[in-house]
Amino acid sequence: MYKRLDKNDAAVLLVDHQAGLLSLVRDIEPDRFKNNVLALAASANYFKLPTVLTTSFENGPNGPLVPELKAMFPEAPFIARPGQINAWDNEDFVKAVKATGKKQLIIAGVVTEVCVAFPALSAIEEGYDVFVVTDASGTFNEITRDAAWRRMQDAGVQLMSWFGVACELHRDWRNDIEGLGALFSNHIPDYRNLITSYTKG
Protein backbone atom coordinates (compact mmCIF):
# COMPACT_ATOMS: atom_id res chain seq x y z
CA MET A 1 0.00 0.00 0.00
CA TYR A 2 1.34 3.42 -0.97
CA LYS A 3 1.58 5.68 2.06
CA ARG A 4 2.58 9.04 0.67
CA LEU A 5 4.61 11.54 2.62
CA ASP A 6 2.70 14.71 3.45
CA LYS A 7 4.63 17.80 4.57
CA ASN A 8 1.66 18.81 6.72
CA ASP A 9 1.73 15.54 8.68
CA ALA A 10 5.43 14.67 8.90
CA ALA A 11 8.14 15.10 11.54
CA VAL A 12 11.85 14.28 11.35
CA LEU A 13 13.71 12.33 14.04
CA LEU A 14 17.51 12.53 13.91
CA VAL A 15 18.78 9.79 16.20
CA ASP A 16 22.34 9.54 17.50
CA HIS A 17 24.28 11.28 14.75
CA GLN A 18 27.14 11.54 17.24
CA ALA A 19 30.82 12.18 16.64
CA GLY A 20 31.91 8.85 18.12
CA LEU A 21 29.25 6.73 16.45
CA LEU A 22 29.93 8.24 13.04
CA SER A 23 33.32 6.54 13.10
CA LEU A 24 31.52 3.18 13.02
CA VAL A 25 29.81 3.85 9.70
CA ARG A 26 31.38 1.69 6.99
CA ASP A 27 28.51 0.93 4.61
CA ILE A 28 28.78 4.35 2.96
CA GLU A 29 31.73 6.71 2.42
CA PRO A 30 32.17 9.18 5.34
CA ASP A 31 31.95 12.35 3.24
CA ARG A 32 28.90 11.16 1.34
CA PHE A 33 27.24 10.03 4.53
CA LYS A 34 27.69 13.35 6.30
CA ASN A 35 26.46 15.16 3.18
CA ASN A 36 23.32 13.00 3.17
CA VAL A 37 22.63 13.66 6.85
CA LEU A 38 22.95 17.40 6.32
CA ALA A 39 20.82 17.17 3.17
CA LEU A 40 18.03 15.51 5.14
CA ALA A 41 18.38 18.17 7.84
CA ALA A 42 18.26 20.91 5.20
CA SER A 43 15.14 19.29 3.74
CA ALA A 44 13.49 19.32 7.17
CA ASN A 45 14.25 23.03 7.43
CA TYR A 46 13.13 23.76 3.89
CA PHE A 47 9.75 22.07 4.40
CA LYS A 48 9.47 23.46 7.96
CA LEU A 49 9.03 19.98 9.43
CA PRO A 50 9.11 19.64 13.21
CA THR A 51 12.41 17.99 14.08
CA VAL A 52 13.55 16.14 17.20
CA LEU A 53 17.24 15.55 17.94
CA THR A 54 18.51 12.93 20.34
CA THR A 55 21.77 11.41 21.52
CA SER A 56 22.63 8.35 23.57
CA PHE A 57 25.17 8.41 26.41
CA GLU A 58 27.04 11.31 24.86
CA ASN A 59 29.32 11.66 27.88
CA GLY A 60 30.66 8.22 27.02
CA PRO A 61 32.34 6.92 23.85
CA ASN A 62 29.38 7.78 21.61
CA GLY A 63 30.36 11.45 21.78
CA PRO A 64 28.40 14.66 21.21
CA LEU A 65 25.87 15.41 18.50
CA VAL A 66 27.36 16.51 15.18
CA PRO A 67 27.64 20.30 15.72
CA GLU A 68 26.13 21.20 12.34
CA LEU A 69 22.83 19.61 13.37
CA LYS A 70 22.70 21.53 16.62
CA ALA A 71 23.35 24.74 14.66
CA MET A 72 20.66 23.96 12.08
CA PHE A 73 17.97 23.33 14.70
CA PRO A 74 18.64 25.74 17.58
CA GLU A 75 14.99 25.70 18.69
CA ALA A 76 14.30 21.99 18.18
CA PRO A 77 13.79 19.61 21.11
CA PHE A 78 17.11 18.00 21.97
CA ILE A 79 16.94 14.90 24.14
CA ALA A 80 20.28 13.76 25.57
CA ARG A 81 19.36 10.26 26.70
CA PRO A 82 21.30 9.19 29.80
CA GLY A 83 21.62 5.59 28.65
CA GLN A 84 18.57 4.16 26.88
CA ILE A 85 19.69 2.41 23.69
CA ASN A 86 16.21 2.54 22.14
CA ALA A 87 15.24 6.22 22.00
CA TRP A 88 11.60 5.17 22.35
CA ASP A 89 12.40 3.93 25.87
CA ASN A 90 13.10 7.54 26.87
CA GLU A 91 9.96 9.28 28.10
CA ASP A 92 11.14 12.77 27.13
CA PHE A 93 11.88 11.65 23.58
CA VAL A 94 8.45 10.07 23.14
CA LYS A 95 6.81 13.18 24.59
CA ALA A 96 8.71 15.36 22.11
CA VAL A 97 7.63 13.14 19.22
CA LYS A 98 3.99 13.15 20.30
CA ALA A 99 4.11 16.92 20.83
CA THR A 100 4.76 17.40 17.09
CA GLY A 101 1.20 16.18 16.50
CA LYS A 102 2.38 14.42 13.31
CA LYS A 103 1.46 10.90 12.23
CA GLN A 104 4.34 10.36 9.79
CA LEU A 105 7.84 9.97 11.21
CA ILE A 106 10.92 10.35 9.02
CA ILE A 107 13.80 8.70 10.88
CA ALA A 108 17.56 8.55 10.30
CA GLY A 109 20.43 7.73 12.61
CA VAL A 110 23.53 5.76 13.57
CA VAL A 111 23.67 2.79 13.72
CA THR A 112 20.98 1.45 11.43
CA GLU A 113 20.12 -1.85 13.14
CA VAL A 114 19.93 -0.30 16.62
CA CYS A 115 19.48 3.46 16.88
CA VAL A 116 17.25 3.58 13.79
CA ALA A 117 15.53 0.19 13.83
CA PHE A 118 14.55 0.13 17.50
CA PRO A 119 12.60 3.42 17.59
CA ALA A 120 11.25 2.80 14.08
CA LEU A 121 9.79 -0.55 15.14
CA SER A 122 8.53 0.94 18.41
CA ALA A 123 6.78 3.78 16.55
CA ILE A 124 5.17 1.31 14.12
CA GLU A 125 3.84 -0.56 17.16
CA GLU A 126 2.21 2.67 18.35
CA GLY A 127 0.47 3.27 15.03
CA TYR A 128 2.79 5.78 13.34
CA ASP A 129 3.69 5.65 9.66
CA VAL A 130 7.47 5.36 9.62
CA PHE A 131 9.85 6.30 6.81
CA VAL A 132 13.53 5.47 7.33
CA VAL A 133 16.06 7.48 5.33
CA THR A 134 18.53 4.82 4.28
CA ASP A 135 21.33 7.02 2.99
CA ALA A 136 21.30 9.26 6.09
CA SER A 137 21.61 6.19 8.34
CA GLY A 138 24.75 4.11 8.61
CA THR A 139 26.29 1.06 10.22
CA PHE A 140 29.23 -1.37 10.24
CA ASN A 141 28.76 -3.09 6.88
CA GLU A 142 26.30 -3.99 4.14
CA ILE A 143 25.33 -7.35 5.69
CA THR A 144 24.28 -5.69 8.94
CA ARG A 145 22.52 -2.89 7.07
CA ASP A 146 20.58 -5.21 4.77
CA ALA A 147 19.37 -7.36 7.67
CA ALA A 148 18.16 -4.23 9.46
CA TRP A 149 16.37 -3.00 6.34
CA ARG A 150 14.59 -6.36 5.96
CA ARG A 151 13.54 -6.38 9.60
CA MET A 152 12.08 -2.90 9.36
CA GLN A 153 10.38 -3.52 6.01
CA ASP A 154 8.74 -6.67 7.36
CA ALA A 155 7.23 -4.54 10.12
CA GLY A 156 5.85 -1.97 7.67
CA VAL A 157 8.59 0.67 7.62
CA GLN A 158 9.12 2.40 4.29
CA LEU A 159 12.72 2.81 3.15
CA MET A 160 13.61 5.97 1.21
CA SER A 161 16.56 8.17 0.25
CA TRP A 162 16.76 11.80 1.36
CA PHE A 163 16.25 12.82 -2.28
CA GLY A 164 13.12 10.67 -2.51
CA VAL A 165 11.82 12.18 0.72
CA ALA A 166 12.34 15.72 -0.59
CA CYS A 167 10.66 14.99 -3.92
CA GLU A 168 7.65 13.29 -2.35
CA LEU A 169 7.16 16.13 0.11
CA HIS A 170 7.46 18.77 -2.63
CA ARG A 171 5.03 17.05 -5.04
CA ASP A 172 5.31 19.58 -7.88
CA TRP A 173 8.30 21.54 -9.20
CA ARG A 174 6.06 24.54 -9.78
CA ASN A 175 5.63 24.95 -6.03
CA ASP A 176 9.13 26.45 -5.81
CA ILE A 177 11.66 25.80 -8.57
CA GLU A 178 14.44 27.94 -7.11
CA GLY A 179 14.06 26.70 -3.54
CA LEU A 180 14.05 22.99 -4.38
CA GLY A 181 16.77 23.52 -6.95
CA ALA A 182 18.96 25.22 -4.34
CA LEU A 183 18.39 22.38 -1.86
CA PHE A 184 19.44 19.79 -4.44
CA SER A 185 22.35 21.88 -5.75
CA ASN A 186 23.83 22.28 -2.28
CA HIS A 187 24.06 18.51 -1.77
CA ILE A 188 24.28 16.90 -5.23
CA PRO A 189 27.21 18.17 -7.34
CA ASP A 190 25.73 16.88 -10.60
CA TYR A 191 22.47 18.63 -9.83
CA ARG A 192 24.37 21.87 -9.32
CA ASN A 193 25.61 21.55 -12.91
CA LEU A 194 22.08 20.89 -14.10
CA ILE A 195 20.63 23.89 -12.27
CA THR A 196 23.47 26.12 -13.45
CA SER A 197 22.77 25.23 -17.06
CA TYR A 198 19.08 25.85 -16.46
CA THR A 199 19.53 29.28 -14.85
CA LYS A 200 22.12 30.40 -17.41
CA GLY A 201 20.12 29.10 -20.36
Catalytic site residue from 25, 115, 121, 166: 115
CA distance 185 to 14: 22
Cα(70)–Cα(112) distance, integer angstroms? 21
Residue 115 appears among annotated catalytic residues:
yes
Amino acid, single-letter form, for residue 130 = V
H-only helix segments in 126-176: 142-155, 162-170
3-state secondary structure at position 40: helix
- Which residues in 114-127 are b (16+ Cβ under 10 Å) and which e? bbbbbbbbbbbeee
CB-CB contact of 131 with 161 (8 Å): no
Catalytic residues: 115
